[in-house]
Amino acid sequence: MRLAGRSAMRLVRAIPVVGSRFGAPPRLDLDGRVVFVTGAARGLGAQIARAAHARGARVALVGRTLGPLEDLAAELGDGAASFKADVTDAAALQRAADGAVAAFGGIDVVIANAGIAPPSETVATIDPDDFEHTVEVDLLGQWRTVRATLPAVIARRGHIALVGSIYAFFNGVLAAPYAVSKAGVEQLSRALRVELAQHGVTAGIAYLGFIDTDLTSDAFADEHAAAIRSAAPGFITRPMSAEAAADAVLSGVERRAAQVTAPGWVGPLLAARTLTTAVMDDVLIHNPRVNGAIRSAEAVASQSDS
């Protein structure tokens, strides 16, 4: 009888999607865990660190300048330590990972958050160094973060959360290297989720809409990015608070979720991505404000060339 029960459960687990409900890894409560966050000096990363610490986690704050990380560590008090690492530097990330393990005894959760926005240029006009540096930070920086921390996360059967964006499936007009990176991050999270399942480790991506941080205000200060923004419905470009975004990311970690979406409208758009992708690209092609922004970006580039 018990044998029949076990065979039935094995059969149920083999059914895609349904099976995962019956074989889901246990919840990962943050209380007492060690969370390694990149880009923790400000914006979403700092808020994730604050919120994880408030839920009882010890936090390894990782970033390229120690000063603001140390200020945040002092604000949080016990259970917070800072580590200097630029995510373009694999050796520095390894030192940060080793330092976090030495300070806290291990790493349960990695949040690959550090990111930048590129200048609002077209693929034709952007400085090649700007394009490639964006991919270096936004995509390869996440891969390097994962690679440096993976043995520690496997040892703790933990979770890896990659901070993605709606740009993983939105059109990246005037932000191509950012969208290319976030689409790559999505694939990284999917491969990790399957490759690490046998180790009891989970991985997921957060598809986040606009957040009220420096990254958004700096990007929208550019007239071409502002023109693209004005062509989109207001509910899409209205930024959510960093607190709301951090809460969504951490709730996803606790559920070991493969996907996190925020704010509320992102989930339905993601679910209908085949349709929304086709419609969005067509709408953008025919939008006069978008076309004006592209022409203007090209004109500015050709003026500075001549």
Interface residues toward ligand NAP, by CB under 6 A: 38-39, 41-45, 63-65, 86-88, 113-116, 137, 141, 163, 165, 208, 210-211, 213-216
Alpha helix positions (H), the chain: 2-13, 18-23, 43-54, 66-76, 90-104, 128-135, 141-155, 176-197, 214-220, 223-231, 234-237, 242-255, 266-271, 273-285, 288-305
**Nearer Cβ to ligand NAP, position 42 or 255?**
42
**Shortest Å distance, C-beta 113 to ligand NAP:** 5
Tallying the residues shown for the chain, one arrives at 306
167 is catalytic: no
Which of 36, 104, 167, 178 does the annotation list as catalytic? 178
**Shortest Å distance, C-beta 265 to ligand NAP:** 14
**Nearer Cβ to ligand NAP, position 7 or 65?**
65
**Shortest Å distance, C-beta 260 to ligand NAP:** 11
Give exposure, 67-88, as e/b (b: 16+ Cβ within 10 Å): ebbbebbeebeebbbbbbbbbe
Closest residue to ligand NAP: CB criterion: 43
Neighbours of 227 (CB within 10 A): 21
**Nearer Cβ to ligand NAP, position 132 or 298?**
132
Are 163 and 44 in contact by the 8 Å Cβ rule? The answer is yes
**Nearer Cβ to ligand NAP, position 163 or 173?**
163
- Rounded to whole angstroms, the Cα distance separating 170 from 172 reads 6
**Shortest Å distance, C-beta 112 to ligand NAP:** 8
Angle separating helix axes 223-231 and 288-305, nearest 10 degrees: 170
C-alpha pair distances (Å), 9 with each of 19, 21, 36, 125, 198: 9, 11, 35, 56, 18
**Shortest Å distance, C-beta 169 to ligand NAP:** 12
**Nearer Cβ to ligand NAP, position 48 or 152?**
48
**Nearer Cβ to ligand NAP, position 156 or 203?**
203
Q: Nearest-CA neighbor of 201 among 144, 253, 140, 142?
A: 253
- Rounded to whole angstroms, the Cα distance separating 278 from 267 reads 17
**Shortest Å distance, C-beta 7 to ligand NAP:** 44
What amino acid positions are annotated as catalytic residues? 178
